[in-house]
Amino acid sequence: MNDAQHITDQQSGENATGIWRFAKWLPAVPSNQRITLGEGNTPLVASRSLGKELGLSALHFKLEGANPTGSYKDRISALGVSLALTKGKVGCIGTSSGNAGASAAAYAARAGIPYYLYVLENILQAKMVQAALHKASITRIQGFGVSAEIGDRVFEWIEEQAKERNLETMITAYKYNANAMEAVKTISFELAQQLAFCPAPDAVFIPVGGGGLYAGISNGFRHLRQLGRIDSIPQLAAVQSAGCSNIVRAWTNGEAVPAPGDSTSMISGLQVPNPPDGERVLESLISKEGFGVSVSDSDVWYWQERLAAQEGIWCEPAAALSLAGVAEAVKDGRLKAGSSAVCILTGAGYKDGERAVAMAGVQENIPLVDINRLEN
């Protein structure tokens, strides 16, 4: 990838790490007000088996679960909470299906400011516990994450509360906090650096719920091309669960706004029937920057198991969506034999402990033996 290894901002100082290595390309935050837990600079791991099975020349996994609280949301929280301090905000308020809340709670705790979190009715226990440990004030909202109408009302209420109470809005969407979302570009910057001495991938597969991750990665690659650091942008595949595929369905039908419909997906992080950045994703897809893919929840769980069993990578189901998308694109011919791809694995496996227990069958299948039996 051309001259991308030199994108790091040398003006950030020798001690700048993670996303702050790219401070020049992010909204301004004085170095003494940057809240960090070491986010960013996540590994890019080459596939040892699944890429070959799928007929690809190269397959890489971007391990965003290696971030401090276990998801890519830490990039956004680091910048968002830092910006809150620079603006004199007295706290943060936001919504979450789990990862964003756990992340923002940690960074707000580190900054010493309160965080008011409003979550899905059926939020995973592990994700809510993370936020609770950081002393976030948590409220569950009935129907949130299922009904698009309720989701819109929640977002509007959060915005109103933020204005009235001098709070920073921590909704991980360009529509609600475009400055904080600029941190997502650092994923693209890191990919360009990590692949600097390799041919550019043919496609990057991105899990899509609300659409902010896709929009941010797209912006990052556009930025790199404008700077002349890369020659071309890889195809960006927007992968959604078939149970909440409002964006992909709209793209398939040639529409510029997300299709209506409530969520039936069982996968945490993908249950966003009112994707706030859906139109941004569709704009990118319609301009031929990429393509949409939808896969069943069962396919996602299947590829999550394959990742753990064959690649040694334990990610949450929403992260495995990207690999399920690769398999579907290979199957329908949109990703040709011999192509190369990158999967954005958005979160760590421990985020969905119940699914992990079901997947492994730990209690039922592990034998208990006496030492005498082993010795004999």
pLDDT at site 197: 73
pLDDT at 3 over 90: no
Mean pLDDT, rounded, of the chain: 92
Q: How confident is the model at residue 8 (pLDDT cuts 50, 70, 90)?
A: low
Q: Which of 74, 15, 4 is nearest to 42 (CA)?
A: 74
Higher pLDDT among residues 179 and 145, named by residue: 179
pLDDT tens readout for residues 239-250: 999 999 999 999
Q: What percent of the chain has pLDDT over 70?
A: 94
pLDDT at site 16: 84
Q: How confident is the model at residue 345 (pLDDT cuts 50, 70, 90)?
A: very high
pLDDT at 198 over 90: no
- Mean pLDDT score, 15-43: 95
Q: How confident is the model at residue 9 (pLDDT cuts 50, 70, 90)?
A: low
pLDDT at site 10: 46
pTM: predicted TM-score of the whole model, two decimal places:
0.93
